A and B are shown apart, each in its own frame.
Chain A
Amino acid sequence: MIRTDKPKQPMQRNRVALFATLTILLALAVAYASGFLGPSSPTSGSSLELTRAGDDVVLADPPPLSGGDAAETRERLRLLDDFRTEYWARQDDRAYLVAYARRAAITKDLISAHAAYKGLVRLYPSDPAYQDLLGQIDVQLGLYSEAAELFRGLTRLRPENVNGYIGLAQALYGMGQRDETIKTLEEASRSLLPADAMGHLFIGREFEKLINYPSALAESERAWRAMPLDPVANVLYARILNKLRRISEAHILLEKVVAAHPDNVPARSTLAQVLDNPLNPRRNPALAEHHFLEVLKRARTNTEDARSLGLIYMAQGRYKQAAFIFTLMLASKPNSAAARLQLSKAYAKLGNSTLGKAQGAIAYRLIDRDTRENELGARRSEKPTGVPQRLALAQHYMDHRQYSLALPELQAAFALAPQSPEVRKLQKEFDLRVGVSLAPFAARVASGK
């Protein structure tokens, strides 16, 4: 079971008892030298009641593979049926268009969202909010030139607003202009008011996505200096510090955030990762386990943290706990190749070769699927305005009944080539398989009639 134990030094499991004794001796020496022998901070691991998974965790059967998300996708898309029907009669109705656009964006029906926001921009051409939102949909649809034009207008109109720059950077990145992308983000940073902490935070995130960590650090530090108590700013700053191997600094920041905001899941999650980082001089897998488990108590469906925790258990040879966590992960994400693979390894190590092989066989199929997805995804990323690339990826998702993933690719293909017979054919197939009727609406939007 998952339980709260008295603290255990992580090395205890790996080394003889003598080592643990000496570790304590060393800690005492350091504390004595510094003249401090008081209680440790609440997250330091020495006085905290640690949450730990024991050997008595009860293993449930692994859940079966998911049969796909056709039903969920259908449910989601049908929520917009009424909006679509009324669209042609209510193109000048602001309240209707706003509601339609928002709902469509949430349900990821990009063609609907595009149509609604375009209507709003037509009605209110000087409202930057609608231009921003339309631009964001343009980027998702691969309409990068249109998006860039909108965002350039926005940056001229409101140079102090970060949204225009970020949208422009994303559009330029889609167009393959990576130098210009970086220049745009740098310009954004210069244009922002010094107190615009959120602006710097957003730019920092964009640099992080571009794996430009030095710039991400500079931006996140600006955000953190402006909002030193804000957990979001702290977490981003710490995350980048960790990526740049300034681990001790990240560690200290995160301990403070978690102490002040114990229910902040991203902070705990990042702290757990830092605690498990082998380069961390204060590495503490037991405490990392504790924080990962605390995250999962608060966010059970957080599969990334479950995966990280499971991998800690695998590395520690605690295969039963690993099997427990990966089974938990499968409850939220039954078609996860990583979870099936690790479950197969864990069961094999536990001596249950039958279950290990069964999960392995599933894992290999999923790895095959994911390898192909990565291949097609890379081709799409290389040429994001390429219709065949979008269609190939959409077809792959449909072949694996991942309709929610197929839809944006298919809609992007349609936005890029609305008259393409190949696109129209796949749209019809999508509608047929999912049980919706999106293609006629899209065709009518494209024809403007």
Chain B
Amino acid sequence: MRTAIALWLILLGTALTGCRSTKQPATSPTGLPQSPIVFHDVAGTSGIDFIRTNGAFGKKWVPETMGGGGAFIDYDRDGLLDVLLINSDWWLPNRLPGSRPTMKLYRNLGNGKFDDVSKQTGLDVPIQGMGAAVGDFDNDGFDDLVVTGVHDLRLFKNEDGKRFSNVTAKSGIVNHGWSTSAAWLDYDRDGKLDLFVCNYVKWTIATDVFCGVKIKTYCEPSVFQADSCRLYRNLGSGKFADETNASGLQTNKSKALGVCILDFDQDGWPDIFVANDLMPNALYRNTGKGKFTDIGLETGMAVSESGISRAGMGVDSADMGATGRHAISIGNFTNEGLALYDTSGPPPYIDASTKAGTNLASAPYVTFGLVFSDLDNDSQSDLVITNGHIADTVSITHRGQTYEQPAQVFRNMGDLTFADVSAQAGAGITTPLVGRGLARGDFDNDGRMDLLLIPNFGPCRLLRNESDSKNSWITLKLTGTKSNRNGYGAFVVITAEGKKQTGLCRSGSGYLTASDQRLHFGLGTATGVESVQISWPSGLKETWKDLQPGRQHDLVEGSGTKS
């Protein structure tokens, strides 16, 4: 009897307070029962046979351990996301027999299969590659590519969805640094995409440092000098001008690995968040007059709450709860854990990752890739990260730590807390890998966001989202006419059954990757979308009414109702 009364009291208390375990969340923010977020790795069966090399041959040169990235890109405009994977190359003193590693482009055939089209598209070229960014810099309707790398940055023009031409030399873009993440943005809102490139540190084979004493280890970035990120303004006609100095972005205090374009202050001018490795992060506020001001420190997001610069890598931002503002999360090193800033309200902001549950859960790992994405379409942005140590010998030197580490999936519980649901997410998430790049994209157009995981070496993973969610969704593909063709910088507000969500159409975010540029919104139980309002970079504000959920809508600038 005593036990029965106690149990009754417990049940009553639980029911009334809505108590939930963070490990086994019972209900979604919408009140619906939550089905697990589940992924299935289909890379092998889909024809994506890419095996990444890091070029390592015992010299322990730092670039070996930092790559690689890739992109979801619909290069042929058939409405299906294709997959680009960036490779490293053999280092000169260690050229192995046979063909050199190259980057690879896989065309999505639409039946769950991909075809290697690297050769016919001209992308089967060796490069000491790192990452990629996707954007239609010449507004011809076909997405172009920038590929970053060690002392190598290449601009590839998409020739009508058939081939890519290396137009770097003609473009005037010169970057001899070690470029990492990159993003396209129209910072001056002239309708032409400009290019922002993160540079990491000043490293060359000649100036390499022997870290360690008898046995060499991968050096940490403190050993090398910082290198400034660069901004290239699109002049039109395929030409670019280096505006780093003129825009106020030149700095010697940046070892940049991740970039996220956002409109932090919602003034319509795209701002730039840069995640730096053991240097304060930067938030470059666009003044709208061709200049940027770093407000990272005054917004409280440059360093940890202890005033220490962390090992910033991947970075992303997302609407956290229909506030119209975005939260920002940054991947960091072992024992630092993720940073998470709720940027609602005025700065300075306080790192809320501990309260959110993501800090301690990620603390055992070194987080590189990081993206927000509504994985279960419950209208809340979830968070995915890929982890992997930089030291291949870490299990010997630091017992309990491993080079390969599992990825992690955090479900947004709707109150700026996250539940670690990795254990249920499938072997593609839980099987350790030396995780680096991570991109989101709906490659099978089923309304569930899939993931592309790119390791430092070995096969990549294409994780098809197989979550059994009954939630509805809508995908918006934006096309600028007066604005840049991709619509990068367009701010979108959707209203579904009275509930608002926001999104920014953009390039960049994550680590070394380009994600699906379409805007995807989970709608929960909503059966209709009353309106979609878009503020284009051109200044035009338009509204579309009564859009049907469960499909993609192509919204062309100028075709909506002016608002």
Contacts and interface: CB of A to CB of B under 8 A. Distances in A.
Interface of A: 18-19, 22-23, 25-26, 28-30, 32-33, 35, 175-179, 182, 210-215, 277-279, 307, 311, 314-315, 336-338, 340-342, 344-345, 348-349, 356, 360, 363-364, 366-368, 370-371, 374-379, 382-383
Interface stretch (B11-19, B228-236, B429-437): B11-19
Given A30-B6, A175-B213, A279-B360, A364 B297 contact: yes
A33 B11 CA distance: 13
Contact of A25 (B12, B213, B214, B300): B12
27 contacts: A25-B12, A26-B14, A29-B6, A32-B6, A32-B9, A33-B2, A176-B212, A182-B397, A277-B360, A315-B355, A338-B307, A341-B300, A341-B303, A342-B307, A360-B297, A360-B348, A366-B307, A367-B280, A367-B309, A370-B309, A371-B278, A371-B279, A378-B220, A378-B223, A379-B223, A382-B211, A382-B219
Interface in B1-44: 2-3, 5-7, 9-10, 12-14, 16-17
A279 B414 CA distance: 19
B215 interface: yes
B302 interface: yes
Nearest to B417: A278
Given A278-B355, A379-B222, A214 B400 contact: yes
Contacts of B13: 22-23, 25-26, 29
A310 to B, nearest CB: 9
B348 A382 contact: no
Contact of B307 (A22, A279, A363, A378): A363
A212 B309 contact: no
B298 interface: yes
Contacts of A383: 211
Nearest to B220: A378
Given A367-B309, A374-B309, A33 B220 contact: no
Given A345-B350, A370-B307, A382-B209, A375 B10 contact: no
Given A19-B17, A212-B399, A367 B10 contact: no
Contacts of B397: 178-179, 182, 210
B16 A18 contact: yes
Contacts of B9: 25-26, 28-29, 32
A35 B355 CA distance: 34
B398 A210 contact: yes
Counting chain B CB atoms within 10 Å of each CB, the highest count among A307, A360, A367 belongs to: A367
Nearest to A20: B17
Contact of A29 (B10, B212, B222, B223): B10
Nearest to B212: A176
Given A25-B12, A32-B6, A371 B309 contact: yes
B556 interface: no
B298 A360 contact: yes
Contact of B308 (A26, A33, A370): A370
B207 interface: no
Contact of B278 (A175, A363, A374, A382): A374
A79 to B, nearest CB: 33
Contacts of A33: 2-3, 5-7
Interface in B304-356: 305-309, 335, 347-348, 350, 352, 354-355
B396 interface: yes
Contacts of A311: 305
A379 B209 CA distance: 10
B357 interface: yes
Interface band, chain B: 35 or more
B2 A177 contact: no
Chain B interface mostly helix, strand, loop or mixed? loop
A215 B17 contact: no
Counting chain B CB atoms within 10 Å of each CB, the highest count among A337, A364, A382 belongs to: A382
Contacts of A371: 253, 278-280, 309
A367 B297 contact: yes
A29 B5 contact: yes
Chain A interface mostly helix, strand, loop or mixed? helix
Contacts of B211: 382-383
A315 B219 CA distance: 35
Counting chain A CB atoms within 10 Å of each CB, the highest count among B6, B302, B396 belongs to: B6
Contacts of A32: 2, 5-6, 9
Contact of A211 (B12, B280, B398): B398
A215 B399 contact: yes
Nearest to B15: A22
A26 B220 CA distance: 50
A348 B360 contact: no
Contacts of B14: 26
A342 B302 CA distance: 13
B366 to A, nearest CB: 13
A338 B222 CA distance: 21
A12 B231 CA distance: 50
A344 B298 CA distance: 9
Nearest to B350: A314
B307 A341 contact: yes
Contact of B396 (A179, A342, A349, A364): A179
Contacts of B209: 382
B214 to A, nearest CB: 6
A244 B331 CA distance: 21
B283 to A, nearest CB: 14
A363 B305 CA distance: 12
A215 B12 CA distance: 45
A25 B15 CA distance: 13
A35 B253 CA distance: 63
A19 B307 CA distance: 36
Contacts of A360: 297-298, 348
Contacts of B307: 336-338, 340-342, 363, 366-367, 370
A213 B453 CA distance: 30
Contacts of A22: 12-13, 16-17
Contacts of A356: 348
Contacts of A337: 307-308
A415 to B, nearest CB: 17
Nearest to B279: A371
B492 to A, nearest CB: 31
A371 B311 CA distance: 12
A280 to B, nearest CB: 10
B357 A177 contact: no
A375 B278 contact: yes
Contacts of A211: 335, 398, 400-401
A378 B222 CA distance: 6
B17 A278 contact: no
A215 B397 CA distance: 12
The 9 closest A-B pairs by CB, nearest first: A176-B213, A378-B222, A33-B6, A29-B9, A337-B307, A338-B307, A375-B222, A212-B399, A29-B6
Contacts of A278: 354-355, 357, 359-360
Nearest to A317: B350
A22 B5 CA distance: 15
B398 A345 contact: no
A349 B213 CA distance: 48
B400 A213 contact: yes
Given A337-B307, A344-B348, A375-B278, 12 more contacts: A26-B10, A26-B14, A29-B5, A32-B9, A213-B399, A338-B306, A341-B303, A367-B302, A378-B220, A378-B223, A378-B278, A382-B222
Contacts of B6: 29-30, 32-33
A352 B17 CA distance: 38
A215 B398 CA distance: 10
